Structure 1
Amino acid sequence: MKEFEFLKSELEDMKENHTWQEIKQVESKQGAYVTVNGKQVMQLSSNNYLGLTSHPRLVKAAQAAAEQFGAGTASVRTIAGTFTMHHELEKTLAAFKKTEAALVFQSGFTTNQGVLSSILTKEDIVISDELNHASIIDGIRLTKADKKVYRHVDMDDLERVLKKSMNYRMRLIVTDGVFSMDGNIAPLPEIVKLAEAYDAFVMVDDAHASGVLGENGRGTVNHFGLDGRVHIQVGTLSKAIGVLGGYVAGSHVLIDYLRHKGRPFLFSTSHPPAVTAACIEAINVLLEEPQHMEQLWDNTNYFKSMLVKMGLTLTKSETPILPIIIGEEALAQQFSERLLSEGIFAQSIVFPTVAKGKARIRTMITAEHTKKELDQALAVIQSAAKELHLL
């Protein structure tokens, strides 16, 4: 049988250029510590911002739902896979996001694909920040709309593009709320102001802002006081929410349209009962237990201040995403492995996830870490950085 020699050659190039990475296997539940290769290590790479993946209320809700409704739904939503709990989750999300309605997809990735591929036609143009998430990029590729990219968070460049695109049926500005590789927040007030001035629509992907920014974790739209002024809000249920899935929140018209046109929604089996019930309970926890967000930000501010004091090069992060810029791919991987050998699980991020020459260690702070644990991590980071001549 013919072999994939061309793929093998590309894989060898990746190894030579230090962009090949073995996927680490976690052998325990997520928390401040996890087990990797049989060893307990501190977790600094998870999106489990609030520690909800193992919160007793979520676990109990998931167990009860599985016992009552089974392990799965055995159907897509539009045939026989919509349980009453799916509607309950969507109503809960709409109220949480302060929108008329919401719709749940299988993941944040498929949400972006489903929304963009459904609502855009050849009569439209989509205008995207150059550092938007891969799911936005791939969603845009699925459309027949014209496409323009503006320089990262550059409002002058965004206005330039808007001025040159006045003849389209719809002009849709798409941005991440929080940029996942740098941790900075989109200048949403300025984006909305330009959109209103030039009669454009705005879509925000709040994957890394849900549960982190805004009142009770409602996201960047609420964080900036822009409720009711952003047309499409996308979020994830897989990061701070602690479970699985994605959703879009907006007007009744938008959600009704996506129910009939969103291909990932139409052709994917619905969320299992355990997942759905746990997501509902996660929103309840956000509303009723604000101490998790408070602890997250206390930990973030402390850890960031100590990294800066140490003299390491960071991005302009404004969130619990705190990337340490290394530069060279090989050095970033070496740094990550050195940290792991000393009990710190902090993964290196290299091309193609980030640009070549901008490799980094993306540390992720959670509400579950204690100050003592953060101090232990900081000591190991400083020691490894000195050893590798990064300080």
Structure 2
Amino acid sequence: MREETPPAADLFSKFDPLIAERQALLDTGVRDPFAIVMDKVLSPTLAVIQGKETILLGTYNYMGMTFDPDVIAAGKKALDEFGSGTTGSRVLNGTYQGHKECEEALKAFYGTKHAMVFSTGYQANLGLMSTLAGKDDYIILDADSHASIYDGCALGSANIVRFRHNSVEDLDKRLGRLPATGGRLVVLEGVYSMLGDIAPLKEMVAVAKKHGAMIVVDEAHGMGFFGPNGRGVFEEAGVEADVDFVVGTFSKSVGTVGGFVVSNHPKFEVLRLVCRPYVFTASLPPSVVATAATSIRKLMHAGAKRAHLWENSKRLHKGLRDLGFNIATPEAESAIIAVLLPDQDKTVRMWQALLEQGVYVNMARPPATPAGMYLLRCSLCAEHSSEQVGHIIDMFAAAGRATGCIA
């Protein structure tokens, strides 16, 4: 008798609990927080969502460069002169004049000898982590590191060591336990994206150097906002000379898409030949690198914007705290303000109440946050007016009382 082939396992079955949880949430009548569509974007701070003009408080457009006239003009000019795309990788036909100009703008902005542009910030971390440290080396990273850092570690073959979030003492301890052989790479972030807290980079860099480690700082959420020149937290901390690599993205303060690594290491350029996420993917379209280069040059002279962004951050932080909301950071540490809530139900209802009031924020839940942590993440923009910040505080007050999140 012929044996019957057993049915193939459903590869989606592992997601059934999440599917059921999401459906139960939607069955209560709330909107899906992860399926919002911007019908029209009016400015860095305003969009039309489901037919209603809404203040944007959930984007990473920190410096408001997306509608800058010079940035837009540069993109249009490149589109006319070079077409819509490169149809090739950087190491083949995908390096245009604009890609080199963008790297020159980065070198001028950071004061470094080398700059390498990737197609996304995610790929920049993926490439650096997977390429730099080999099987006999160690990557030591903060437990709250971004997914792109973890994925870069998984793609490579280095030994991974985690230390407690923002703990200088634990970093020192972990480094001290490593064997004498093998290289070591300490990976830090200037601003951590979920809670908006900043790393004690001065102390951490000193510890890493004491143990002979090389240092990467991801400044995705610090570029444009921190330091005299807007380079990031590492500049503000005064450790520029001791940091070996800075990773960043164009999708936050620069206002477009793409990623980069800058460095002064004399052997840096070899990464263009050995870094798989750089070699084996199409390069950014000419219009994108043109907008990025123009934006980066303008950010070199954006002191007034930075000052206004700090003013917005401090005002919103104090306003929400005074209303009785639980804020993740004791003071306004960055342009990100995380409002902590007790459970998913209250978080979703508060999120929807805010949207109905006319302000969009990000909802975050596990696994994007630590287990049991639910929050609404507010990301301020240098283009938010003082009047808009006042409206945001009023809308938080109304939504918080309507949902019982505040008294």
TM-score range, shorter chain: over 0.9
Equivalent of 2:37 in 9, 16, 25: 25
- Offset at residue 254 of structure 1 (A): 4.7
**Which piece of structure 1 moves more, 253-262 or 185-194?**
253-262
Equivalent of 1:191 in 201, 204, 217: 204
SS, match of residue 216 in structure 1: coil
2:13 corresponds to: 6
2:190 corresponds to: 177
- Offset at residue 342 of structure 1 (A): 1.0
Equivalent of 2:268 in 243, 252, 255: 255
TM-score by length of 1: 0.96
1:385 aligns with 2:400: yes
1:366 aligns with 2:373: no
Distance change >3 Å, CA 78–CA 324, structure 1 → 2: same
**Which piece of structure 1 moves more, 162-171 or 52-61?**
162-171
Partner deviation per Cα, 1:225-264 (whole Å, 9 max, x = no partner): 1122101110111101101101001135453121011111
**8 A contact 1:216–1:293 mirrored in 2:** no
1:219 aligns with 2:232: yes
TM-score by length of 2: 0.92
Equivalent of 2:215 in 194, 199, 202: 202
Pairwise CA RMSD: 1.8
**8 A contact 1:125–1:168 mirrored in 2:** no
2:141 corresponds to: 128
Determine the C-alpha separation between the residues in 1 that align with 2:98 and 2:298.
17
- Offset at residue 4 of structure 1 (A): 5.5
**8 A contact 1:124–1:171 mirrored in 2:** yes
1:341 aligns with 2:348: no
**8 A contact 2:125–2:152 mirrored in 1:** yes
Q: Which amino acid aligns with 1:329?
A: Q
SS, match of residue 45 in structure 1: coil
Q: Which amino acid aligns with 1:70?
A: G
What pairs with 1:145-184 in structure 2 (closer than 5 Å)? Answer: 145-184=158-197
Determine the C-alpha separation between the residues in 1 that align with 2:314 and 2:34.
31
- Which segments of 5 or more consecutive residues in structure 2 lack a partner in the other structure? 1-6, 27-31
Partner deviation per Cα, 1:324-370 (whole Å, 9 max, x = no partner): 00131121111101110111111211111112321101011111111
Partner deviation per Cα, 1:196-245 (whole Å, 9 max, x = no partner): 21111111111000111112311122111112210111011110110110
Q: Which runs of 4+ in 1 moved over 6 A?
A: none
Q: Which amino acid aligns with 2:138?
A: I
Distance change >3 Å, CA 18–CA 132, structure 1 → 2: farther
SS, match of residue 132 in structure 1: coil
Equivalent of 1:90 in 75, 91, 103: 103
Residue correspondences, number: 391
- Offset at residue 5 of structure 1 (A): 5.5
**8 A contact 1:182–1:315 mirrored in 2:** yes
Which structure has the larger Rg? 2
Q: Which amino acid aligns with 1:346?
A: V
- Offset at residue 390 of structure 1 (A): 2.0
- Offset at residue 8 of structure 1 (A): 6.3
Partner deviation per Cα, 1:107-155 (whole Å, 9 max, x = no partner): 1111001001111111101111011111111111112111111001111
Equivalent of 2:119 in 106, 111, 114: 106
1:295 corresponds to: 308
Determine the C-alpha separation between the residues in 1 that align with 2:296 and 2:19.
45
- Offset at residue 7 of structure 1 (A): 5.6
2:29 corresponds to: none
Distance change >3 Å, CA 189–CA 17, structure 1 → 2: farther
- Offset at residue 21 of structure 1 (A): 4.4
2:90 corresponds to: 77
**Which piece of structure 1 moves more, 237-246 or 137-146?**
137-146
Determine the C-alpha separation between the residues in 1 that align with 2:39 and 2:266.
44
Equivalent of 2:321 in 285, 299, 308: 308
1:60 aligns with 2:73: yes
Distance change >3 Å, CA 189–CA 8, structure 1 → 2: closer
Equivalent of 1:274 in 287, 293, 298: 287
Distance change >3 Å, CA 313–CA 90, structure 1 → 2: same
1:328 aligns with 2:343: yes
- Offset at residue 192 of structure 1 (A): 1.0
SS, match of residue 215 in structure 1: coil
Determine the C-alpha separation between the residues in 2 that align with 1:389 and 1:330.
11
Determine the C-alpha separation between the residues in 2 that align with 1:358 and 1:374.
26
1:116 aligns with 2:129: yes
Distance change >3 Å, CA 12–CA 191, structure 1 → 2: same
Determine the C-alpha separation between the residues in 2 that align with 1:284 and 1:342.
37
Percent identity over the alignment? 30
- Offset at residue 177 of structure 1 (A): 1.0
Determine the C-alpha separation between the residues in 2 that align with 1:377 and 1:281.
31
Q: Which amino acid aligns with 1:98?
A: G
Determine the C-alpha separation between the residues in 1 that align with 2:191 and 2:222.
6
2:22 corresponds to: 15
